[in-house]
Amino acid sequence: MTKLFTPFEMRSLTLKNRIVVSPMCQYRAVDGRANHWHTVHLGNLALSGAGIVIIEATAVEPAGRITPGDLGLYDDATEAALKTTLEAVREVENCAVFIQLGHAGRKASSHKPWDGGQLIPLEEGGWETFAPSPIALKDGDRLPSEIDAAGLVRIRDDFVDAAKRAARLGIDGIELHAAHGYLLHEFLSPLSNHRTDAYGGSLENRMRFPLEVFEAVRAAFPADKPVGVRVSASDWMEGGWDCDQTVAFAKALAARGADFIDASSGGLVPQQQIKPGPGYQVRFADAIRKETGLATFAVGLITDAAQANAIIEEGKADFVALGRSLLYDPRWPWHAAADLGATIDAPPSYWRGLPADKAGLFRTTR
C-alpha cells in the first residue's frame, strides 16, 4: 500500500492518511468571529480527502491577533461563530479537524497582507502589542510592551481558556503556534528574548514559558485527543534559534505529553537568509523525528505526489502538510492518490466526476 495513504493512530484518533491541510490565515474574520467565508473555505478543504484539516492561526486574546481580520477563540461570541462553521464542515465530511492556537506577540496589530502588512498606528485603529522584550520587529516600528509576571499568567490562562472552548466545540486536536516569529517563538529565540529573569537567557529559561503554556493546554484538553506544536526549527540567522535547540525543545515537549511537531522555519526577523527549494524544510522534521521519536509534519514546497510519498516512505516524517498547493488545487489528494495508485475517501455526490480511466479511486465512509 502507498505509505502516503496509510492510516496513522494518534491517541484516540485513527487518521485516514498522512496528508495534512496546513493552517492558513484568511484574514476574513470580523472581531475574531468566523463567518461564511470560513465555512466555505474549510468545507472545501475538508472535502479534499486529507486526513487532517487544521484551522488557521486562532488568537487566544484580541491583542494576539496578527491583523483585525484574524480568527479568534477568546469569548462566547467567537466560540459560537466557530461552532456554526464546524457544524457545517462536520455535516459534509468526517476528516479530523485540528485548530492552531496562537498569539502574535510583537507581530500583532498589523494590516492584512493585501493592505501592505505593516504595523497599524494606534491612531488608525492599531493596538498595544506584547513581547518577551521591548524589541521592535523592524526599525522604526513602535516597541512592544515587555510582558510582566501578571501578563505571563494572563496569556497562559488565555491559551487554557481557548483550549477548553476548542474541547467544547469537539475539535479533534490542538496545534500550538510556536513558529514564524509569533509570541511563543519570540520567547524561544535569543534574537527576540533579552529578558534577565527566569524566562530569558539560557535555553532552559527561554523554553520555560512555551513549555508552561503547553503543559497548561495539555492538562485542559481531553486526554484522548492530541496536542502538538508548530515550530520554526531555524531563524536562518547567526546567533538565532536553530535545529539543535529545536530538538531540545521537542524532547522537553515529548516528556510533557506532546503528540507531534509541525516543523517549519523562519519568520522571526526580516534579515533571515532563507534559500527555499522543493522540500527545503523536510530535514528539520527528519531530525526531530529521529532524535525524539515524536510524530512529525514535514512542510515547505511539497508539491508533487511522488515527493510527498517518498518523505513518508523514507521515514523522514509521518505526515506532509500542504498549504499553497491545496489553495491552488483543493483536490490535490485525489490527484495524488490517482498518480500513486491508491484509493481515497470522496462523497458519493462527486463520484460521477471521476474520469473513466480512474475507476476504483474513490471510497466513502458515508
Q: Is 280 a catalytic residue?
A: no
- The H-assigned helical ranges of the chain are 36-46, 76-92, 149-168, 183-188, 203-220, 243-255, 282-292, 305-313, 324-328, 332-340
DSSP string, 327-348: HH-TTHHHHHHHHHT--EE--G
What amino acid occupies position 324? R
- The residue written with cell numbers 523554553 in the block is 207
How far apart, in whole angstroms, are the C-alpha atoms of residue 198 and residue 176? 22
- The residue written with cell numbers 497599524 in the block is 120
Residue 282 and residue 311 in contact, taking contact as beta carbons nearer than 8 Å? yes
How far apart, in whole angstroms, are the C-alpha atoms of residue 44 and residue 66? 24
3-state SS, residue 128: coil
Grid coordinates representing 152 are 505571563
3-state SS, residue 174: strand
How far apart, in whole angstroms, are the C-alpha atoms of residue 323 and residue 278? 14
190-229 as b/e: b if 16+ CB within 10 A: bbbbebeeebbeeeebbbbbbbbbbeebbebbbeebbbbb
Other beta carbons less than 10 A from residue 21's beta carbon: 26
Catalytic member of 74, 182, 199, 280? 182
Strands 52-59 and 71-72, sheet pairing: parallel
What amino acid occupies position 105? G
List, by residue number, the catalytic residues: 182
